[in-house]
Every structure is written in C-alpha cells, then in structure tokens.
Amino acid sequence: MTAPASLPGGFGEAELQYVLDQACSAVGLDPSGARLLRGHTNAVVQLSTAPVVVKVARRGSKFENVRRTARFVQWLMDRGFPTVPLHPVADQPVQVDGHAVTYWTYLPQPEHSLSAAQIAKPLFALHSLPIPPFALPAMDNLGAIRASIRSITALPDETKHFLAERADCLEHSLRTVEYVLPKGVVQGDPQHRNALFDGDDTVLCDWDTVAIGQPEWDLVTLEIHCRRFGYSPDHYKEFADTYGFDVTLWSHFAVLRDIRELRMITTNARKISHAPGSRAEIDRRITGLHREDTSLTWNIL
C-alpha cells in the first residue's frame, strides 16, 4: 500500500495493511497496489485492482454506529438520492481486528474542485427527506464538544477550562434560539471535502455524523468552511442563493456559528496525540477564540 511513513489518525502502517488485507480477502477483493487517500480519522484507501474505496474506522469506533451509517446510505440509494454508493458486497460493515470496514464505489474526480453552490442542491434534497424508518442519533454539538474536551491530553488544563467555560456559555445562549427551518435529516459536516463529482452531478459522502436535527446546523457548517478556509464572500453567497436560505441573516446565526466552530476546534484538539503536526494550528485557532476573531483564516487539518 502506498502511504506516508507516519500515518495520521492513529493507524500504524503495518496494522492498516493487515486490516486492509483481511478486509479485502473477506469480500473477494485484491488489496495489491492500494493507495491511502485520507487518514485523519478513518483510513480511506483506494484499491488499484477494482473501482472500490475501502474505509477503515479507527479502533474503538462503535461497530453499531458504522452499521447504522451503512444502513442509512443504503436507504438513500434505494431512494435514488445523490450519494456516493456503497460497493455491492453483502452485510456491511465487516469487522477486522477491532476495526469496522466499509466498501464504497470509487468515483474518479476531475482536476477542478467543487464549489459550495454545487453542494447546495443535494444538501437541500437531504433536508427535504422524510425521517428514515430506523433510529438516527439526535444532533448534539455541545455533547460532542464536552466529550472531546474530556479526551484532550495535549493541551494544558487552563486551556481545557477555557474551552469548557465557553461551551457552558454557549449552551445558555442556545436555550434562547428559535429555529425557522423544519427539523429533519442533517449531514452533520457538509463541506467541500464531503462531496464529490459523479460525472457532471454532485453527490454527498462521509455520513458518519448523519443525525436528526435542525438544517440550520448544516448551513452554518458550510458557511464556516467558506469563511474560515479562504473562500471569497461571493463563494458562500452563491451557495446561499442556490440553497434558497442565507443562514447568516438569521438572528440566531452567531450562536450556532460559535458552537460549531468550538466543536471543530475541540474535535481536532483531541486528535493532537495522533497528529502532533496539528498542534500549532489548534493553538492558533484557540488564540482566535480568546480574541473573538471570526475572520481569522484557518488552515485545513
């Protein structure tokens, strides 16, 4: 497998190769010549011998959560929803040495990248779906923030206390929020890296955070990615115009923005031990929180 010498995401190269070999053998695929695409949280590996991407969940990820994700994607596929499809193997996920493994259809990508506006149509379609006939978790950004803070080992206690106090203040503010969009299925982390081209069409991917909640959370997340990662204001505006709702004009936008940005910071902060090169960027973002700097450009982790 082609991979960097030091894998991010807590995977050892030998461990990942073993899991990949076993996972491919279980479903009749050939892992030779595979290439690591991403490894920040899950390991995402492209096979060279078939148009398949193998996704290996980090050890400790709950198998039932991955099974629920696969079931949800199959439900989307049955409805003709624009998603990256599961590769047709029986009974996903497969469990290998404590890792849940799923298999996906590989979609070749052009050199040009997706725009936020191209994500708007499938995201609107997602928010328009009925509630699935099986349980999905409730969107809980504050719960995720507190779980991440408890797991942080690489930051001083003073910093963790600051993050926890900020979460407490934002929880108080959240109680006053009045939503305007109907509750439904939300992707949880819609962004440029969680959508792909399927020919000329755009499809969504990476459903690990799918939940039942308010669409405003997804729209705020997309706005954050546009603003924080160097896109122009027009880039976001084209998304809002295409979607048909500009969440920045909503009176409670700032509360959800601040909660969602805190989650993005704390999620990455708990991974510092697996990705020590991210420490400087996390410190930089936290300094921005202290300064209430909402225009600071972030570097992608």
Q: What is the pLDDT of residues 138-184, one digit of tens each?
A: 999 999 999 999 999 999 999 999 999 999 999 999 999 999 999 99
Mean pLDDT on 217-225? 98
Cα of first residue to Cα of last residue in the chain, in angstroms, is 23
Mapped onto helix, strand or coil, the DSSP state of residue 156 is coil
What's the maximum distance between 2 C-alpha atoms anywhere in the chain?
A: 55
- Whole-structure pTM value: 0.94
Average pLDDT over the chain, rounded to an integer: 94
Burial class (CB in 10 A: 0-12, 13-18, 19+), 175: exposed
How would residue 273 be classed by pLDDT, with cut points 50, 70 and 90? confident
HSE value, Cβ hemisphere, 13 Å, CA-based, for 30: 6
Q: Which residue type, as a one-letter code, is found at position 125? A: A
The tens digit of pLDDT for each residue in 32-87 reads 999 999 877 789 999 999 999 999 998 888 999 999 999 999 999 999 999 999 99
The answer to whether 149 touches 272, Cβ cutoff 8 Å, is no
How would residue 10 be classed by pLDDT, with cut points 50, 70 and 90? low
Domain boundaries, the chain: 13-105, 116-290
pLDDT of 8 over the 80 cut: no
Phi–psi pair at 212, nearest 5 degrees: -100, 125
Q: How far apart are CA 36 and CA 87, in angstroms?
A: 18
How would residue 286 be classed by pLDDT, with cut points 50, 70 and 90? very high
How would residue 4 be classed by pLDDT, with cut points 50, 70 and 90? low
CATH superfamily placement of domain 13-105: Phosphorylase Kinase; domain 1 (3.30.200.20)
How would residue 9 be classed by pLDDT, with cut points 50, 70 and 90? low
Instruction: Check residue 5 and give its pLDDT.
Output: 45
CB atoms within 10 A of CB 142: 16
Q: Which residue type, as a one-letter code, is found at position 18? A: Y
Better-predicted residue by pLDDT, 187 or 301? 187
The CA-based angle 108-111-114, given to 5 degrees, is 85
The answer to whether 23 touches 38, Cβ cutoff 8 Å, is no
Q: Which of 144, 142, 147, 149 is nearest to 163 (CA)?
A: 149
CA 84 to each of CA 69, 176, 194, 197, 243: distance values in angstroms, whole numbers, following the listed order: 13, 37, 10, 9, 21
Lowest mean pLDDT among 5-9, 30-34, 121-125, 282-286: 5-9
Tokens 């995402």: give the residue: 44
Please name every residue paired with 55 in a beta bridge, in sequence order, or none if there are none: 44, 102
Instruction: Check residue 274 and give its pLDDT.
Output: 81
Instruction: Check residue 90 and give its pLDDT.
Output: 77
CB atoms within 10 A of CB 90: 6
Fold of 116-290: Aminoglycoside 3'-phosphotransferase; Chain: A, domain 2 (3.90.1200)
Instruction: Check residue 13 and give its pLDDT.
Output: 82
CA 271 to each of CA 54, 58, 124, 162: distance values in angstroms, whole numbers, following the listed order: 22, 12, 31, 18
Helix axes 253-269, 141-151, angle to 10 degrees: 30
